[in-house]
């Protein structure tokens, strides 16, 4: 897959998204979708994530963020699209 076949989404998720397994569920969903990147909690209570991969997989992960884990209560999802930066695998960052 060339970079022209890949896209990147930088996502910020607001609401009740920390302490509800949002990051672990996101990691599992991203791996299942074949998407690379990372997810982490922010000090202000939001979750930040980067998704890289085929457009269809990245779009599915952005949609996933609107729901998140079963215990999450998402109030807003902000997304910025950009050029891939070569992410490989998917990890939870601290």
Active site residues: 23, 41
* Burial class of residue 20, CB neighbours in 10 A (0-12, 13-18, 19+): middle
First to last CA, the chain: 29
């Amino acid at each position: 897959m060339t970079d022209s076949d890949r896209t990147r989404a930088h996502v910020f998720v607001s609401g009740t998204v920390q302490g509800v397994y949002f990051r672990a569920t996101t990691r599992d969903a991203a791996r299942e979708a074949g998407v690379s990147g990372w997810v982490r909690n922010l000090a202000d209570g939001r979750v930040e994530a980067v998704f890289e991969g085929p457009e269809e997989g990245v779009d599915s992960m952005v949609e996933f963020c609107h729901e998140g884990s079963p215990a999450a209560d998402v109030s807003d999802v902000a997304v910025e699209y950009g050029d891939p930066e070569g992410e490989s695998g998917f990890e939870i960052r601290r």
